[in-house]
Structure 1
């Protein structure tokens, strides 16, 4: 695993590196087997589109990646929204197979809470909330899509940020509490995840993301560090069902252990075993299940997890009681199609190490 950590940033010669820096944490049972950081949390002051390269900060201003570096989780945030939803189901306040329209009347009949969690609602992948800064206008976009989904018929799979944005609104209406409070009070505080929360954050100790500018981005915001990268999450105020959380590898390792332990960590329980099984059993509720493209050889054995656009991911494998957290700043200084080969390679190395143990 140490050899993998040292090489996780790289790609074949002649291509840009996969990321400036990364943190990898792997464990089995109660033991953290490997934890290491490589590369740079902050290296660039911007991006030069004319020469397709990052613009380096002065060398003495580069900040090394550390195992405690905080990352913008991007879509890994969806897991926390899913956990809150399943907590409400477990408490009898929400029905998985109940109609979303019972809570959000603009939704077409037939779309259920389960559909939102499984991405089978038919909602489009995203909408341009970033182009409408007024909340009423943003919600009007969502309600129009919810009334007549354009992503496909309900029941078919279409991965959509809108599912989790809608779930956020449903949960907030159901509980009378904002999503950040639900995540804090019901997940992060009980588990002691002190480095996990929504931004904006002070930049110190946070991995930088993108020099966000058009035409490659959807908004002109400059270099981001501690402010959510996702343009729609930013437009929605930084707390969104699909993105917005920041965290560390250590905090995510605790979350993985909690799920592998059937919802308990030490003396703290956030979910019962049946609720955890509902989240992780195929096809999963909010969690991707057995996705070989980023899970490598861990896939197919009961693995579940998620990736994030900024370069983040976690995988937990119930069959071997192992987990892998890989956090990288792949969009620093600019987003590009880097693929998930390093994620899959890390998962495969872990799977082979467990098999050989």
Structure 2
């Protein structure tokens, strides 16, 4: 059964029984190219997955993945629920990974309910509740995706245009400088509205709280900046209700959760599911005690548990179905909720004027801080304040889901971004990058705050040396690859490079960096000659965030038509520090 409630009145509705993670295995029909691309990081997919792709259980090996990075990520997440000098990073977690329609990892660890108060007093062991695979979590701001999908349903219905002014649909919104704000600006957080106002505290009831949002003046000129704002999505929730003539929870159920068979996804979970709901914060203002089964966000709670910015509860299994529906271009198990062109638009970056804040229509894009090694221009997702994240990577047809109750018992526990990133990067690292030449290539693993060098023996040339090599570079801009030369082994100079290939830097550069292209580059350099010239490739990472890493292959150094070094035939001459030869 799918469920939806508002103001405490539960309404149960029949749901389509679809193939989910917890259900029986359903084979994915064979499609040209799918088999070849599975397990490969260096064969990015350009379009959507076949529309008939449904989730099936499997192993990493069954889709060509290396199980070790996935296992290591799962072990790290499990460790973060355990003892620490103060408290665990989060009491409990469910993690789930999907690749080419196959669920390759699912893990439930820790406690859904552990603490009795905000001070962290542990409940007696018999009263604590372990996390299960089907534990229901408060998604917090991941709820914004459901509101955004609902908006796009109205676009497909012809009742809404994203480039129209919001005031054309909600006249009461068009006051105090908001007259020209468009629906698109709400979806991309470029409206100029501030992040948050305490509706629950400063206004007495739901009508006055909604009016407060409608009346609010922007703090920046609309379209001038990116500011992530709950007010944007609260407004969109009101817009969905106004245009559909239905409550937001009812519309989301009718158009999204029921068609997709999301049996544990909705607002205000019914009492019958309380034993499966993860607890969140102990709140004293407002005086709610340990919050469990009600939305954690105070503003959403003050709006009856149903709001555009927060309020949805779900399981990892249900979110995996939603993620696969996005990868499929808007459909799952024969039921379509959006057209492929609509999904494509939702995953298109409209925030090119605000670098680092890439955003589609509702979906965040290319955010390495939680998407890790899966980051790329089309990688979409969202996080939630309660400790949740959803990452959807069309290029590798992968999904990474982490659901935690990190605010239990207090929001002061701190960030869990390292766990989000670790899970996504574990899946990225499990995918192969095949050597471009021969059986192996040099690999610099993505390790934070590390410098790795790959050094040639001293080379002697009569004229300038030409250096050619192939590079697979998947890093953030602050983690570059450089080529350096030295005549004495002590003083090094950086060598200008030219690279060719998808996503390669244009023109001459001294540093190679980039992510999302997932392509080998051909690189060429000219090095002044002489006696005893040593070359080295240097990979340097900063203290946070990495990608899939860097690979080098086909290293050749020549002096005219004279071969000075053939890295394919003479790998034993290279001196690696932090690099290693690997076959995938």
Normalization by structure 2: what TM-score? 0.58
Secondary structure of the residue aligned to 2:307 is: coil
Offset, 1:109: 1.9
**Cα RMSD, aligned residues only:** 1.6
Offset, 1:135: 2.6
Counterpart residue number, 1:109: 179
Q: Distance in 2 between matches of 1:354 and 1:33?
A: 12
**Contact 1:228–1:234 at 8 Å: present in 2 too?**
yes
Equivalent residues in 2 for 1:163-242, closer than 5 Å: 163-202=232-271, 203-214=274-285, 219-242=286-309
Counterpart residue number, 2:329: 262
Q: Distance in 2 between matches of 1:249 and 1:73?
A: 10
Secondary structure of the residue aligned to 1:44 is: coil
Aligned residue among 118, 121, 134 for 2:188? 118
Any gaps of 5 or more consecutive residues in structure 1?
49-53
Which structure is larger by alpha-carbon Rg, 1 or 2?
Answer: 2
**Contact 2:387–2:416 at 8 Å: present in 1 too?**
no
Counterpart residue number, 1:27: 98
Q: Distance in 1 between matches of 2:108 and 2:97?
A: 12
**Contact 2:194–2:229 at 8 Å: present in 1 too?**
yes
Offset, 1:154: 2.9
**Contact 1:81–1:183 at 8 Å: present in 2 too?**
yes
Counterpart residue number, 1:159: 228
Q: Distance in 2 between matches of 1:264 and 1:112?
A: 28
Counterpart residue number, 1:84: 150
Please state if 1:45 is matched with 2:116: yes
Secondary structure of the residue aligned to 1:305 is: strand
1:324-356, Cα deviation, whole Å (9 max, x unpaired): 110000001111222411101111111111236
**Contact 2:181–2:222 at 8 Å: present in 1 too?**
no
Please state if 1:322 is matched with 2:398: yes
**Contact 2:365–2:377 at 8 Å: present in 1 too?**
no
Counterpart residue number, 1:290: 366
1:166-185, Cα deviation, whole Å (9 max, x unpaired): 01111111111110011000
Secondary structure of the residue aligned to 2:411 is: coil
Q: Distance in 1 between matches of 2:269 and 2:430?
A: 38
Offset, 1:144: 2.2
Q: Distance in 1 between matches of 2:84 and 2:122?
A: 20
Q: Distance in 2 between matches of 1:87 and 1:211?
A: 36
Secondary structure of the residue aligned to 2:116 is: strand
Counterpart residue number, 1:274: 341
Q: Distance in 2 between matches of 1:19 and 1:103?
A: 42
Offset, 1:92: 1.4
Q: Which moved more, 1:199-208 or 1:170-179?
A: 199-208
Counterpart residue number, 1:4: 73
Offset, 1:257: 0.3
Counterpart residue number, 1:71: 137
1:2-35, Cα deviation, whole Å (9 max, x unpaired): 3322321555953532100100000111210111
Paired residues, number:
346
Structure of higher RCO (CA pairs closer than 8 Å, 6+ residues apart): 1
Between Structure 1 and Structure 2, the one with more helix by share is: 1
Q: Distance in 1 between matches of 2:206 and 2:404?
A: 32
Offset, 1:61: 1.4
Secondary structure of the residue aligned to 2:240 is: helix
Q: Distance in 1 between matches of 2:130 and 2:331?
A: 34
Counterpart residue number, 1:340: 417
Secondary structure of the residue aligned to 2:180 is: coil
Q: Distance in 2 between matches of 1:9 and 1:160?
A: 32
Counterpart residue number, 2:552: none
Offset, 1:301: 5.2
Secondary structure of the residue aligned to 1:5 is: helix
Q: Distance in 2 between matches of 1:40 and 1:28?
A: 27
**Contact 1:10–1:19 at 8 Å: present in 2 too?**
no
Secondary structure of the residue aligned to 2:109 is: strand
Please state if 1:251 is matched with 2:318: yes
Secondary structure of the residue aligned to 2:212 is: helix
Normalization by structure 1: what TM-score? 0.93
Counterpart residue number, 1:17: 88
Please state if 1:130 is matched with 2:200: yes
